[in-house]
Chains A and B, each alone.
Chain A
Amino acid sequence: MNDWAILSGIEGNLAAYEAVLADIKRQRQPVEELYILGDVIAPTAESEQVIQRVRSPQQNEPMPQVCQGWWEEQLLILHGLGRTGEPTELIERYGITMVKTLWDAIPREMVEWVRSLDFGLFELDCLLIHGSSVSVSDQLTPDTPAMQMLDRLMRMEANTLFCGRSGLTFQYEIQQGTVTSSLTTLDRSNSPQAIAVKPRQVVGVGNVGRLPGQASYALYRPNSNQVEFRTVRYGAGKGFQRASP
């Protein structure tokens, strides 16, 4: 099976996305699947172009599979299509003026597409999602407690969880673990049993568009379970230039 490219957080930055696409095409091992873990948009007018670019790949590019990110969820909430009614989180983080900025930035006809996106994607034994199995806002980082990481993996019975909320690139491997469990009910009492956890991992796939001139994303080789992080430098506003390993 060929490689996957997994990215998150284009955040309406078309030049950054083009740079990443060019880098993907340069890979010696062909990239078969392209996953975008949300935040395709940001409250900028350029977001519309990015959506169009994502939806219409060129002939030699894989069709991106996209799930909702934090910005997409905020947009849906504004349009009354979200999981919660009030844009509380948006206002808390960016102030009340952001409501109008975001509303104005994304044309109505794009909302239907945003709405059609899945909350997360499940491929092989991998969960691909913006935040985590808990919510789009759930931010997993290299410093997240191990039990919390394990919980996010086990909620969806995934062996690998790819996420993008933190914008960081990291590979967090749970190599092994045990716990002794015993149970007493009204009618019986079980003797303690050792339970082991099988190896699992959480992968932060970086962020494409937030940092001008520098995009990061991840390559995944399902056969060997190998993860490689790519950092792509590009001339801001001028399209892509060259990749640096």
Chain B
Amino acid sequence: MKVAVMSCIHGNYEALNAVLSDIDDQSADKIYCLGDLVGYGPHPNAVVEMIRALDIPTCQGCWDEDIVEGLNSCECSYPSVLAEKRGKQAHEWTDQVIHPEVREFLAQLPLSLRDDNLCFVHGSPHNQHEYLMPEVDAFVALERVLVTGADILFCGHTHVPYVRSLDAGQLQIRVKSTGTTERDVSFSAPLKRIVNAGSVGEPRHGRPNATYVIYNTDADQITLREVEYDYQKTCAAIIDNGLPPIFAWRLARGLEFAERADDPTHVCER
């Protein structure tokens, strides 16, 4: 069976269409979506309607949550004051154009999805705002998979796709507590993987192309897909719809709009 996983569409309808037809060409049997359907891009309603029409199981992303709950993420989730101001502009624009039923749909999205030994989240199992960057410490990464009980954890939110394999994890522990004798415990974990699906509508890998992943369960093989699409159309729509032109400039260069925090594992305590 082939499972296609995509994330971070961010209101980019052109990119979504291109990815959907590539998924078709690859004859995937199932599709999952890891959220961030809206935000930054010019077509939030159309994207959500498409996801609903195709009945694609989707978890809630950080942007979906913010549109439902109101923007209450702390400034520490932005890497700079400029990024924060742009993020707020994007939020306000999206908040104004979004249809009530679209908002309702985003509100009821689950935080995680499960399919056998696969788990799907937006950021990390602990928090949809946490960034699982590829360079996160291997043990931290392993903990994120183990806490789900799954073998493969699919996440998005960083906008750069990757596959990380964590094999033969083991720990040696000694526990002393008053009243009991000292005991030694060893812990081991078989192969676990984190698969980041990248971003359909707001890539950050330096090219404008959309990215997503396909997992072939029979061959146990993961493929990172990079799909070209007419990004100029989205750029034009960004400008025509009154979003800041710099969004179009960055989209055309695969630069994202900077939503990554300095300390990626930092999660605000608010």
Which residues of A pack against B, CB within 8 Å? Answer: 83, 119, 134, 142, 145-151, 154-155, 168-187, 192, 195, 197, 204, 216, 229, 231
List A contacts of B164 (CB < 8 A): 181-184
Give Cα A165–Cα B245 distance, bound, in whole angstroms. 51
- Give 4 new A-B contacts, CB below 8 A, not counting A146-B185, A181-B164, A184-B164: A147-B171, A173-B174, A179-B170, A195-B137
Give Cα A155–Cα B130 distance, bound, in whole angstroms. 12
- Asked if B134 and A177 sit within 8 Å, CB to CB, the answer is no
B172 CB contact (under 8 Å) in A172, A176, A231: A176
A147 CB contact (under 8 Å) in B146, B176, B178, B265: B146
Q: Which of B30-38, B155-163, B233-241 contacts A (4 or more CB under 8 A)?
A: B155-163
- Asked if A177 and B143 sit within 8 Å, CB to CB, the answer is no
Using A170-B176, A180-B167 as known contacts, say yes or no to A186 and B265 having CB atoms under 8 A apart: no
List A contacts of B185 (CB < 8 A): 146
A177 CB contact (under 8 Å) in B163, B170, B205: B170
B187 CB contact (under 8 Å) in A146, A169, A181: A146
- Asked if B139 and A154 sit within 8 Å, CB to CB, the answer is yes
Q: B111 at interface (Cβ–Cβ under 8 A)?
A: no
Q: B141 at interface (Cβ–Cβ under 8 A)?
A: yes
Q: Which partner residue on chain B sits nearest A172 by CB separation? A: B175
A/B pair count, beta carbons within 8 Å: 126
B-side interface residues, number (CB < 8 Å): 42
List B contacts of A168 (CB < 8 A): 177
- Asked if A186 and B161 sit within 8 Å, CB to CB, the answer is yes
- Asked if B165 and A195 sit within 8 Å, CB to CB, the answer is no
Using A146-B187, A183-B134 as known contacts, say yes or no to A175 and B143 having CB atoms under 8 A apart: no
Which residues of B pack against A, CB within 8 Å? Answer: 126, 134, 137-143, 146-147, 160-178, 180, 185, 187, 189, 198, 205, 211, 224, 226, 265, 269-270
Give Cα A174–Cα B185 distance, bound, in whole angstroms. 10
- Asked if B139 and A229 sit within 8 Å, CB to CB, the answer is no
Using A83-B270, A185-B162 as known contacts, say yes or no to A169 and B143 having CB atoms under 8 A apart: no
CB of A13 to closest CB in B, whole Å: 20
Q: Which partner residue on chain B sits nearest A176 by CB separation? A: B172
- Asked if B269 and A83 sit within 8 Å, CB to CB, the answer is yes
CB of A226 to closest CB in B, whole Å: 12
- Asked if A171 and B177 sit within 8 Å, CB to CB, the answer is yes
Give Cα A58–Cα B185 distance, bound, in whole angstroms. 44
- Asked if B134 and A186 sit within 8 Å, CB to CB, the answer is no
- Asked if B142 and A179 sit within 8 Å, CB to CB, the answer is yes
List B contacts of A179 (CB < 8 A): 138-139, 142, 166-170, 189
CB of B203 to closest CB in A, whole Å: 10
